[in-house]
Chains A and B, each alone.
Chain A
């Protein structure tokens, strides 16, 4: 895919739960599955312990995208943590839209500890989507990147 915003490398922050998504990221590493280098992972014990303010703060500090990853529904280590995260995601999306952060920059996803390929795929998808949307307006260097002229001509 040609670059829409030349030179732009999306910064993605992922909150991954210790029991599934982080294990999947770990497995992706040991089995050498490739995924974009712009990902920063923060391990949390459960997706439900990610307070929405943490997601908001990430965006306020210039993250291009935030991924919140937990176990598949029904497989939460703490019974229903991922259901709580799902309920909160609705509220997070609403507040982000008020803040003028585009839909799609925040994503809630599930993957089990064996799904290294699913994890990598989710990150790749997010990375590609963000490359198309461009840098977040809250990024300090957002003005550095502009849409390539080639794309503007089309």
Chain B
């Protein structure tokens, strides 16, 4: 059976598409199963607003719509709405589409701050006027896809592991719902835990963790136990793909950054993490980079311009 596929990259970095291309072997069988009709990032298909000849956004009807990136401006919103109308199944592809991702950190600031910091004042580049003529009007903040259009399935990750993408697309081909893991990164992490209560203070990751490079991860002490801000407890598992290896950041001996979003749908990573820390008697006021706990999931109203 063959399905048609449309894809769009909105407010993101196209890393998710890189990961899709990186799928290797499975991508060959996927190419046989999917007929790609529209994917501006890979093929040349002009449509209105992006240099096309017609007067409307010209996206063909398709079975599956793959959208990466969140919504930051009017153009992206229109494209997303059109995709929803033209595609039977919408897949929020990557963390930006699912939870806002890195671009949603902008939700802490005003557009005015952005123009002042990046255009009017020069740090390494020449100062330039506000780019109001060349970019579409901004929305009031960065939105995740499901805040504006209906989303059927989510494949989180920054970027998602090629295995997760391939397995999600394969299940859609087979007419099944893609399944996400139900557990946290900690559940899939082999690092040694030596129990709660020994950590008094959480440090920034400016000094390396203690480990022996020639020993496997299972011989390394849990990074949270070592006093680093590891987001494993509040982050959805699955970043290691299907081979059952340790979580990817942990494998590189650095703390989890939380890129797979909350474990439970609608969960709040910063609240869960701060709660876990304060409940164990750790003072979080001295945690310099605690805003980074929402580094990947700042949409859905989690991050807002500071109220007075």
Contacts and interface: CB of A to CB of B under 8 A. Distances in A.
Interface of A: 51-53, 56, 60, 84, 87-88, 90-92, 94-95, 97-103, 138
B270 A95 contact: yes
Contacts of A53: 267-268, 271-272, 275
Chain B CB within 10 A, most for which of A60, A94, A98, A102 = A98
Contact of A95 (B108, B271, B281, B285): B271
Given A60-B301, A87-B281, A98 B275 contact: no
Given A88-B279, A100-B301, A102-B307, 19 more contacts: A51-B275, A52-B271, A52-B274, A53-B267, A53-B271, A53-B275, A56-B268, A60-B301, A84-B279, A91-B271, A91-B277, A92-B271, A94-B284, A94-B290, A95-B270, A98-B108, A99-B303, A101-B307, A102-B308
Interface in B106-149: 108
**Chain A interface helix/strand/loop/mixed:** helix
B304 interface: yes
A144 to B, nearest CB: 20
9 contacts: A52-B274, A53-B271, A53-B275, A91-B277, A94-B284, A95-B268, A95-B274, A98-B291, A100-B305
A90 B278 contact: yes
A91 B307 contact: no
Interface of B: 108, 267-268, 270-272, 274-275, 277-279, 281, 284-285, 290-291, 294, 301-308
Given A53-B268, A56-B268, A97 B301 contact: no
A91 B278 contact: yes
B275 A52 contact: yes
B154 to A, nearest CB: 19
Chain A CB within 10 A, most for which of B108, B278, B305 = B278
A24 B93 CA distance: 51
Contacts of B307: 97, 100-103
B274 A91 contact: yes
A101 B302 CA distance: 10
A98 B270 contact: yes
A43 B302 CA distance: 27
